[in-house]
Structure formats: structure tokens, C-alpha cells
Amino acid sequence: MSALRHERRAAVSRPVVIRHIAFFDVDETLITAKSLLDFAQRVPHGLWEDETGQPIERLRSGEIDLAALQRSGASRAEMNRAYYRRYAGVPLERLQKAGRDWYHAYRMRPDGYITAGLAALARHRRAGHMIVLISGSARPLLTPLSEDLGADRILCTEQLDDAQGVLTGEVAHPMVGEAKAEAVTEVMAQLRVPTTDCFAYGDHGSDLDMLQAVGSPVVVGTDPVLARHAQASNWPMLPADAGPRIARAQHHDTSAQYGPQVIALASGRGAAPRRQERW
């Protein structure tokens, strides 16, 4: 199923003609947590109760031990599908509210965000680039984050619901690994933006295909697989230092807040001189 059939525009308006796109992975690229697991640890018990307070009958497959699944050698896509089965029987509207509540609390953490990732996203916004979040996480968790950061689109693992708006526990397509590269390529083609005018940010070896799909890949953190490719191909690398959410009005002081590596990338100096003219 096409990723573009599921993505929806955020509230932020953009010019009709898109000239540059910046794709951002979310977990450990923009935020320090793995959002699905963090949410699962804090989800209210009432999520699985009906209007009378009685437990919702859940699919047995929803109780899969993800750690055991990982030890068995399951792929990231298989684990992604397994995670979402725990929400079978939950009304989508209820999960959406829980997602907003989770993010409202998460936003207050002093170490909840990747400082350099936020700075890069802010720089792209100021340059008028389209911002796309791409993640295997759930739309109910990503929507409040997207609105907060001013992203334009979300490409994610889409949960399926029935005619009554109740989640089935299944997903359309896990947005992990190669699926990210396919979605990025599809967006660039549909919007007719050349790969040379697109950026992608990722932190994990599973993001490699996505990074290779664009003209300007950027590695966040020190993943050994990505680090080797970055060194061989002269890709910029950003630190994964943690910090708080910074209000947009404070972004002007980037040199003090985010350090020299981010400023070099944002201004086109140092790590990627061949791209200087586009910044």
C-alpha cells in the first residue's frame, strides 16, 4: 500500500512549489527515546478498558514478548508488526488522546531531545524546506511531535482500524528499513523534487537505505554501520547529545546551544563543502 496514501499534511502551510525536502527519522534522531517502547511503559491501563471499565478482549498475539522475538532473530519489520498487535480492540480515538497525553508529558523532559537534530530541523524550516518525519512509530504518537516541531508530513507505520474506528492490531506496512527508502523515493518522485535537493537524517544502520536515497545524507550519532559509510562518502555526522525541547524563539542562538558541528552543517562549512551553495 502506498505510503503517500496514508501520509497527511500537518497544520503548517507551505508554498505549492516544493524545491527541497528534509526527511528526519524520529527515535534517537530527534528525540532520545524509542517512542513506541516509551509510550508502552507509560500507557494508561484504561486504554484497554471499555466504557464500563471492563477489560477489552485482546488478541493473544498482542501479548508477544518483543525481547524474546528479537532473540529469535525476527526482523525489525516482524517486531514492528508484533508490537502493534497489543492495541487490537482499542478505539483509535482513545489511542490518539493517549498519544497526545504522552507527548505533553514527554516534552517536559530535560533530556528528551537530540539537540543537534532539533537544530538541523529548525535550520531547514528557516530555509523553507519541506519537513517530513519518517518512522516506524505510530501516528498517534508522531502527530503531536510533528505539530510541535512544525513538520509538514508524516510517513509512518499506519495502524488499521475497522468501520467503528477500533484498531484491528494489524498495520498496513511497517515503516522500517527498506520501506523508509521506498517511501522517501516515492515522495520525491511525486513532488518532482530531485534527489540532489533532498536531505535525510538517521541514526541507525537500518536507516542506511533511506540515507543513500537522497543527495544529502546526514548521520546522527555513532552507529558503526553509518559511521563507516559517512567516513567513506564524506557524509556529515552530528552528535547525539541530549537536551530539552527549545522554544522556536530561542533558535537564533544556535552557536551557543548546539555547538560547532551543527553550525558548520547549517552554514555549509566543514563537513560537506560540496553542498555549500545550497545552504
Provide the pairing of β-strand 113-114 with 130-138. unpaired
159-196 per-position pLDDT tens digit: 999 999 999 999 999 999 999 999 999 999 999 999 99
Among 38, 227, 164, 240, CA closest to 217 = 227
Q: Which pLDDT does position 74 carry in this prediction?
A: 78
Long-range contact set of residues 44-47: C-beta below 8 Å, sequence gap at least 24:
44/98, 44/101, 47/87, 47/90, 47/94, 47/95, 47/98
pLDDT value at residue 46: 75
Supply 112's cell numbers.
Answer: 528528551
Amino acid at 207: D
Question: What pLDDT, on the 0 to 100 scale, is given for residue 261?
Answer: 44
CA-angle at 223, arms to 244 and 118, nearest 5°: 25
Buried b (16+ CB within 10 A) or exposed e, 254-269: beebbbebbbbbbeee
Contacts of 208 (CB under 8 A, 6+ apart): 202, 225, 226, 229
Distance between CA atoms of residues 146 and 276, nearest Å: 28
The pLDDT assigned to 65 comes to 64
Between β-strands 153-157 and 242-243, what pairing exists: parallel, antiparallel or unpaired? unpaired
Rounded to 10 deg, the angle between the 35-42 and 139-149 helix axes is: 110
Q: What is the pLDDT along the chain (279 residues), one digit of tens a residue?
A: 444 445 444 444 445 689 999 999 999 999 999 999 999 988 877 786 666 566 666 544 445 566 676 677 778 888 899 999 989 999 999 999 999 999 999 999 999 999 999 999 999 999 999 999 999 999 999 999 999 999 999 999 999 999 999 999 999 999 999 999 999 999 999 999 999 999 999 999 999 999 999 999 999 999 999 999 999 999 999 999 999 997 443 443 443 343 344 434 444 443 333 332 244
41: how many CB neighbours lie within 10 A of its CB? 9
Cell of 223: 552507529
Burial label for 124, CB within 10 Å (0-12, 13-18, 19+), is: buried
The pLDDT assigned to 214 comes to: 98
The position carrying cell 512549489 is: 17
In DSSP terms, 138 is beta-bridged to 157
